[in-house]
Amino acid sequence: MSRRIVVKIGEDVLRKRAKEVTEFDGRLAELLDDMTETMIFEDGVGLAAPQVGVLKRAVVISPNGKDFYEFVNPVILGHSGKQICNEGCLSVPDIRGEVERPKKIEVAAQDRNGRKFTFKAEGFFANICCHEFDHLNGILFVDKMIRKKGK
């Protein structure tokens, strides 16, 4: 595993639609391992592949620094409720702000071996999923921010 550099706002790669993963191979495994290592080093709760300059639909999430999740080709199947989330982003230094997100979501995705699964998330986990999945479509939280917080 090796740590990768996190791309910052202003770089084109953060604004493009990431491509579906079709090869579930060693390169994908290495990418996911590197993303997790980078997320831990940067003290983040989630990281999307475009944030390390790779236009693939792959995301890693760790809501608590102990449990680690990987989502390849994630799709939100349904959502309900609303929550106001206080968000930041490793690609958007020094800005935090409030974003409205669904309270609950249901997601379909694949694991690193291509196996399909669905899962339900709510609260903070749903918040992170929505933020990270937006990265796969070139969307940053500042695009949806309803109120800036802090500095």
State how far the Cα of 8 lies from the Cα of 150, in Å rounded to an integer.
19
Q: What number of residues does the chain have?
A: 151
CB of residue 119 vs Ni ion: minimum separation in angstroms? Answer: 20
Helix or strand holding residue 134 (H, E): helix 123-135
Q: How far apart are alpha carbons 28 and 25 in whole angstroms?
A: 5
Q: Under rule CB under 5 A, which residues in 74-103 are in contact with Ni ion? A: 89
Terminal alpha carbon distance of the chain: 34
Residue closest to 110 by CA, chosen among 49, 38, 1, 24: 24
Q: Closest CB to Ni ion among 25 and 100?
A: 100
Note whether 31 binds Ni ion by CB under 5 A: no
Tell me the residue nearest to Ni ion as measured from the CB.
89
Q: How far is the CB of 131 from Ni ion (least distance, A)?
A: 5
Active site residue 42: no
Q: Which is nearer to Ni ion, 75 or 95 (CB)?
A: 95
Active site residues: 132
Provide the binding-site residues for Ni ion, judged by CB under 5 A: 89
